[in-house]
Amino acid sequence: MTQLDQAASMLLTPGGLDLDSLDTGLSHAMGAGIDYADLYFQRTWQEGWVLEDGEVKEASYNIDGGVGVRSLAGEKTGFAYSNQITADALVDTGKTASGIVRSGTRLAGQAVRPVSAALCYPDIDPLAGLSADDKVAMLKLADRVARAADTRVSQVSASLSGTYEVVLVRASDGTLAADIRPLVRFNVSVIAAHNGRRERGSAGGGGRYSMAKLRDAGVAERYAKEAVRQALVNLEAVDAPAGQMPVVLGAGWPGILLHEAVGHGLEGDFNRKGSSAFAGKMGQRVAAKGVTVVDDATLADCRGSLSVDDEGTPGQRTPLIEDGILTGYMQDKLNARLMGMAPTGNARRESYAHMPMPRMTNTLMMAGQDEPSDIIKSVKRGLYAVSFGGGQVDITSGKFVFSASEAYLIEDGVITAPVKGATLIGNGPEAMGQVSMIGHDMALDTGIGVCGKEGQGVPVGVGQPTLKLDELTVGGTQS
Amino acid sequence: MAQAFDARAQQTLLASRVEQALALAEKLGADAAEVGASVDQGVEVSVRLGEVETVELSRDQGIAITVYVGQRKGSASSTDAGEDSIRATVEKALAIARYTSEDPASGLADAELMATDLPDLEVHYPWALSTEEAVSLALECERAGRDVEGITQSEGASLSTGEGVRVYANSHGFVGTQRGSRHSLSCMLIAEDENGMQRDFAYTTARDPGALSAPADVGREAAQRTLRRLGAKRPATGSFPVLFDPSLASGLVGHLMGALAGGALYRQASFLCDRLGTPLFPEWFSLEERPMEPGATASSPFDADGVQTRNNRFIAEGKVASYMLSTYSARRLKMETTGNAGGARNLRINAPLQTPEALLEQMGCGVWVTELMGQGVNGVTGDYSRGATGFWVEDGKVQYPIEEFTIAGNLEQMFANLAGIGNDVDTRGSIHTGSWLINDMTVAGN
């Protein structure tokens, strides 16, 4: 069965609909004066298992589903959704959405054009294939490994979660697309206590594949050890320095620098509205030479990957900055059309109950030439940050922050004491100009990112090589 | 709007669904069960540059079921409230309970703690507003902001109105229902000078539409907040007192409550483990909870376990007087629930208040912070480091805007260093507080 047939049978059939009946459904959303409309059908099955005190005491299961209907007229958007996927619901939501304008020409929808896209991940139910006993055993293994790793470990919690998501998009431009999106994640968090001090360490990861693959990859053991290692490092951490200094970012997850410092500022909506610090800078230098940043939805099995986006556009690899020059924005159909550009497969939405907008998928900086050890050696006094909590950006002023959860001092070219977590702050365009060394060790994160925008959360990935910024402000307490 | 929301009918419908789910759970083998169900409906309109940008209708429903088989627990939820779906959800919860471990602390709250005093707390104020009227209020708001000289661009204004019903029931026979409403209007504007663009926003939110600020006032406030950020410099690195705006001071109360929460305490993931009865704040500071206050943001006579809420005092004369506990976390800590399953409801500060001018005077030289960025708060250690925007203060007077700096400290020391609270109380959220002046934080800038 093709993905389309499979999605139709799971999303449409239960409510008495089929692919042919979507033309009628769409016609309600294509009211007078509407120039584009789409129907987004979605169902998600979500499962979560949590271990605490060595036992799995809690688990939950959630089923969500419905249809979101959107009608566009110029820059206007009408939007409504329903938990019911029925012909009646399509009439109600379609009329509500198209009520955004009340006059104008009534356009006919274009002939159906099924979208063909390469699959970037398997079209499977990730929750199947691993029994409940296996899931519990995996969590208990993480607990045993973490507790055996060091006597200072006082608390261990671990979680296993997975989502099976099926979507189907039908739009008035003829688009008909379906996608089956597995997503799994395993996480371990520990508290280590020593001499009256307590610190946390955590590690985790996952991607768009099955829970069985997660287990076979040995994540329970790996993340348990990694979480313990981080907690023990933090038990020794001294107060972080305060002020401007060179900062070396490790490879992988520290790529949230790119996500915050440049990624959001290159989303089409902010640039169309002129509210981004990067607005109007296409073709100009916005980063140091050697800096190449792409958004890549096509990476196999990655957390942020999309075979097709939430408007049915195939996922792509979109260059954003090439050798320091701004070359691309991330677009959905609305903003692409209004800016006279092409959609880039970056339309994303948290669910059928949310409107799509331009969002990142996996955002990466390409590898450079430098030896990571040479990058450390080049710093007289600075910070080496290898793991982060979260970040945030004000896209208008360009100011961004991200908070280190594991960092070290660099003194005379040598990594010395671990320091407590500190927030780093900078200005996106300026910080990208401060990049002076780029390692050859490009790495992806382990699959843990969630990006929030206008209240909507979506899974994302980041990646980068070891990187040196000549000057960034470190928000410690030692001035 | 599109369809009227009949709260009373929804309440009846939800009550019958939860009864059905409870009966089914017991029939299928649960020793006890609890069910929450809700329906919410709302409209949000946004305008930008004088034109309608989006009209969004929302209608959400859900049912969440937790079953107990002996001391084992299973949970499942669904957004489909049809009869088949309720049955499937109950079955799934029971299936999960076969694999979870015995937990001596699990189970419903004790029957004698179920809320019996269930007054109408006056938190439901439907707003019969057409889409056209909603658009016109948002337009008026944005126009007033854009009319202020110096505003060059707009992110728009939006008005949202919503109401909902929730029902919680458990196999003690407790059924609690709550109807509520929330209405908001916000505006975000942009100004530009030779140093670049700045944006800021203003908002008003209330359960009663009659309590919202005038749209034009919200627009003008957004404009003023945006314009005052132009020409920002970076402050020097050093140790200074910091004045937190009321909206940010409520965040500090939030960090405190996170550390007093039973879930963090029994996991030893709080910097306030074993601190009951010990001093944390200056003696003049107390923090109280008023869950039954009529018309307030978070008012409810029962908590998420069905337990009667009560007036808690978390900080009394500077000392930690109570933790914030649910039935489960209380059992883990061998204590009694404080009626706080689902969190704290309506926190109020009891302390002498000063004018913001007096606080600035007291501060002398330091930073007044009006916006914070990032998540740099470690609940296990209390370490605090966040990105900030605000104003430089010298001789007790505001000098110029500042940006791209961090403020850092440790929450325990910050609470001990609390030097004064303002009478500029922000009453929009569940935590009501004025500005907080905290001595001796590290500012990292130039």
Residue type, A68: G
**In the prediction, which pLDDT does A417 show?**
96
> A12: burial class by Cβ within 10 Å (0-12, 13-18, 19+)?
buried
Contacts of A315-319 with CB under 8 Å at 24 or more apart are: A315/A117, A315/A120, A315/A345, A315/A361, A316/A344, A316/A345, A318/A294, A318/A344, A318/A345, A318/A346, A319/A292, A319/A293, A319/A294
Nearest to B383 among A155, A421, A427 (CB): A421
Nearest to A422 among B197, B267, B385 (CB): B385
pTM of this prediction? Answer: 0.96
Query: d(Cα A4, Cα A1) in Å, to the nearest integer?
Result: 8
Percent of chain A with pLDDT over 90: 95
Q: Are strands A467-475 and A242-249 parallel, antiparallel or unpaired?
A: antiparallel
**What's the pLDDT tens digit per position in A293-352?**
999 999 999 999 999 999 999 999 999 999 999 999 999 999 999 999 999 999 999 999
CB spacing of B444 vs A399 below 8 angstroms: no
SS3 A184: strand
Cβ–Cβ < 8 Å for B57, A70: no
Chain A closest CA to B211's CA: distance in Å?
A: 25
Alpha-carbon distance values, B377 to A222, A403, A417, B386, B390 (Å): 26, 9, 21, 8, 19
Q: What pairs with residue B65 in β-bridges?
A: B35, B76
Residue length of chain A: 479
Mean per-residue pLDDT, A387-400: 93
What is the DSSP code string of B181-226?
EEEEEEEEEEEEETTEEEEEEEEEEESSGGGSPPHHHHHHHHHHHH
User: Is pLDDT above 60 for A141?
Assistant: yes
| Residues of chain B numbered 187-216 and touching chain A (CB < 8 Å) | 190, 196-199
**In the prediction, which pLDDT does B1 show?**
42
Residues of chain B with pLDDT under 70: 1-3
Degrees, nearest 5: CA angle A114-A115-A117:
145
| Residues of chain B numbered 59-78 and touching chain A (CB < 8 Å) | 59-61, 73-78
Query: d(Cα B389, Cα B372) in Å, to the nearest integer?
Result: 7
CB spacing of A63 vs B89 below 8 angstroms: yes
Chain A closest CA to B270's CA: distance in Å?
A: 9
Which residues of chain B make contact with A65, given a CB cutoff of 8 A? Answer: 79-80
Q: Are strands A357-358 and A347-348 parallel, antiparallel or unpaired?
A: antiparallel
**What's the pLDDT tens digit per position in A395-449?**
999 999 999 999 999 999 999 999 998 899 999 989 999 999 999 999 999 999 9
**In the prediction, which pLDDT does A102 show?**
82
H helix and E strand count, chain B: 9, 18
> At A107, is the pLDDT very low, low, confident or very high (cuts 50, 70, 90)?
confident
Alpha-carbon distance values, A336 to A79, A252, A268, A342 (Å): 19, 30, 7, 5
Cβ–Cβ < 8 Å for A298, A308: no
Which residues of chain B make contact with A400, given a CB cutoff of 8 A? Answer: 373, 387
Residue B408, chain A, CB below 8 Å: the answer is yes
Cβ–Cβ < 8 Å for A442, A465: yes
ipTM: 0.94
Nearest CA in chain A to B239: A479
**In the prediction, which pLDDT does A1 show?**
74
**In the prediction, which pLDDT does B2 show?**
46
Closest by Cα among B163, B160, B164, B162 to B185: B160
**In the prediction, which pLDDT does B87 show?**
95
Chain B closest CA to A300's CA: distance in Å?
A: 30
Chain A closest CA to B93's CA: distance in Å?
A: 7
**In the prediction, which pLDDT does B3 show?**
59
Cβ–Cβ < 8 Å for B65, B95: no
Chain-wide mean pLDDT for chain A? Answer: 96
CB spacing of A353 vs B54 below 8 angstroms: no
User: Is pLDDT above 90 for A109?
Assistant: no
Query: d(Cα A426, Cα A442) in Å, to the nearest integer?
Result: 23
User: Is pLDDT above 90 for A129?
Assistant: no
**In the prediction, which pLDDT does A273 show?**
93
Identify from A40, A46, A58, A127 which residue to disrupt to test chain B contact, counting B C-beta atoms within 10 A and taking the largest count: A58
